[in-house]
Structure 1
Amino acid sequence: MRDIRLNHIEEYIHSRKNVTLDELCLRFDVSKNTIRRDINQISEKGTIQKVYGGVVSNPELVSFKNRTIKNQSEKHEIGRLASSCIEENDLIFIDSGTTTRYMVHYLDPDKPLTILTNSLDVINGVSSMPNVDLFVVGNFYKRNTESFIGLDDPRSLDKYNVNKAFMSVTGVSDTHGLTNSDPLEYEIKKIISEKAKKLILLADASKFGKSTLLTYAPLSRVDTIITSQALPREYQEFCAAHDIEIRHAHPDEEQNRKLNAPGAGF
């Protein structure tokens, strides 16, 4: 019962953005001591932040599980399109993220290639593929994003000749470029984005027009954008001016139904 209440409280906070403790007590019919204990437990995940007299949503750190479920059918199709860009003997980087992880579903297990990644899901997904050489980046495991982050020596990535980098973002802006919020994730993203011969951005439509703390690459650096819907006019014009290819995912209704069925997913 308490776990269910905690989930409902967290969902309510994210839907309202900021709420008082008194409002939560009234909404969930519990005492102030109880709601304080609940808030303390939820705040350990980093998805909400306590403030004087209440709590606010921390949207950039909404749990990886919840972000993975959101727009799942679109992310599957983005992953399929991204995998179709891979050729034999490519040396590719697959970024951590709730969209890039779906590429694993559509990789040809018989295709020889080298994968460099910091995503636990990608590591688990390709570790049994006999024709894939796998290299892991990052020296610290970040549980809430299921990724490895941080580098003892940034020059350690210089030895890799990355043909194609499949990157994720927290936000995409024509002025602030490709952004994320974690300084240790930023370090890896920035180095890879500068080294890769071809930069392929995987981002569903909800990411455009947003920016967060850190810019790891300008939007003009991108070669291909794989997204879920038609981009706003200013982004279409920007891409045309900078010779950026745009590819759209179009999951059909039957695929959408299957992917959103109970128990579906990675």
Structure 2
Amino acid sequence: MKARRLQDIEAYIHTRKNVTLDELCDYFEVSKNTIRRDINQIAGKGSIEKVYGGVTSTSELVPFENRTTRNQIKKNDIARLAAACIDEDDLVYIDSGTTTRHIAEHLNPELRLTVLTNSLDVINSVADMPNVSLLVIGNTYKANTRSFVGMDNPLSLQKYNVTKAFMAATGVSISHGLTNSDLLEYEIKKAIASKAQQLIALADSSKFGKSTLLTYAALEDVDILISSEALDEQYAEFCARHAIDLRYP
């Protein structure tokens, strides 16, 4: 968790160029003492420089692991909005994906809830949370998506009364809905999407207007759609027409 936070802080600084300590505290929801320690550690690499009341980027080249900085910040913002949807005693499904995996980092530690997931990152994030009951699905580990896929009987997912399903998608389109490309992931996604009381889709702006091999849910079946920025007129009108709650930072 700390290693990821340090990477995200460094990426944020390189994107913004100049930031205050207060801004970093607010964005990453940590104390000023924690931010100072993190900044000292990052500054040792020579890519940032401490200034009065804040920090500035001194690097023209963004490190390789931070080349998708802007997308990572967008994904983190989406995840923060998603976590705010979770209430006491919810049974939530958190899908595998580079956006959904950040939801656990923003969970209110005081909430008692049950998390159902096939994401290794989510499992690792919530495993030590005392108020979270963790249920894991999938029987085969898929390294490139850091997820567990495949079930002897996908219908067994029907036994879970999922109140909110936070779903990722490779593509989102009006004609093909929420799509992905992996058959084993598709089986889990489709079963969960059809069962959940609320279907909440998370997708940054780069996913819209695209579709892949398999549709696991129609776009009109989505209850809440969380994206990184305001959608174009076509999608905004579609969401309004189908009573989809559209949210973005």
TM-score category of the 2 structures, normalised to the smaller one: 0.7 to 0.9
Listed one character per residue, the Cα deviations across residues 204-225 of structure 1 (whole Å, up to 9, x for unaligned) are 0000000000000000000001
Spell out the pairing of 1:1-266 with structure 2 (5 A cutoff).
Answer: 71-249=71-249
| Whole-angstrom distance in 2 between the partners of 1:67 and 1:98 | 15
Residues 129 and 68 (structure 1), Cα distance of their counterparts in 2 relative to 1, 3 Å cut: farther
Q: Is the 8 A contact 1:68 1:99 kept in 2?
A: no
Contact preservation (8 Å) 2:166, 2:200: yes
Amino acid of the structure 1 residue aligned with 2:195: K
Cα distance, 1:247–1:201 mapped onto 2, change above 3 Å: same
Identify unmatched segments of 5+ residues in structure 1.
1-64, 250-266
In 2: Cα distance, 1:209 partner to 1:101 partner: 23
Distance 1:113 1:106 in 2: 14
Asked whether the 8 Å contact 1:170–1:207 carries over to 2, the reply is: yes
The separation in 2 between residues aligned to 1:67 and 1:239, in whole angstroms, is 32
Decide whether the 8 Å contact of 1:88 with 1:113 is kept in 2: yes
Q: Could you list the per-position Cα deviations for residues 149-172 of structure 1 after superposition, in whole angstroms to 9, with x for gaps in the alignment?
A: 111011211110000000000000
How far, CA to CA, are the matches of 1:67 and 1:113 in structure 2? 35
Q: Shift of residue 104 of structure 1?
A: 1.2
What's the TM-score once normalised by structure 2's chain length? Answer: 0.72
1:70 offset after TM fit, Å?
A: 6.0
Deviations along 1:69-89, one digit per CA (max 9) or x if unpaired, are: 660111111111000000000
Long gaps (5+) in structure 2: 1-64
Deviations 1:87-113 (A, max 9, x none): 000000000000001111110122100
Partners of 1:70 and 1:185 in 2: CA distance: 27
Distance change (3 Å), C-alpha of 1:156 and 1:106: same
SS of residue in 2 equivalent to 1:158: helix
1:99 and 1:202 in contact (8 A); partners too: yes
Amino acid in structure 1 at the alignment position of 2:186: Y
Tell whether the 8 Å contact from 1:68 to 1:98 is kept in structure 2 after alignment. no
Cα distance 1:158–1:85, how it changes in 2: closer, same or farther (>3 A)? same
**Separation (CA, whole Å) in 1 of partners of 2:188 and 2:247:** 25
Residues 232 and 90 of structure 1, relative CA distance in 2, 3 Å threshold? same
- Give me the whole-angstrom Cα distance separating, in 1, the residues matched to 2:68 and 2:111: 27
Return the alpha-carbon distance in structure 2 between the equivalents of residues 215 and 245 of structure 1.
Answer: 21
**1:36-92 deviation per Cα after TM superposition (whole angstroms, max 9, x unaligned):** xxxxxxxxxxxxxxxxxxxxxxxxxxxxx8997660111111111000000000000
Q: CA 1:137 to 1:191, structure 2 compared with 1: closer, same or farther past 3 Å?
A: same
Percent identity for Structure 1 against Structure 2: 63
Q: Indicate conservation of the 8 Å contact 1:222/1:244, yes or no.
A: yes
| Cα distance in structure 2, aligned partners of 1:234 and 1:66 | 32
CA distance in 2 between counterparts of 1:183 and 1:66 reads 31
Classify the secondary structure of the residue corresponding to 1:71. helix
Greater mean deviation of Cα atoms: 178-187 or 148-157: 148-157
8 A contact 2:155–2:191 mirrored in 1: no
Kindly report structure 1 stretches of 4+ aligned residues shifted beyond 3 Å: 65-70
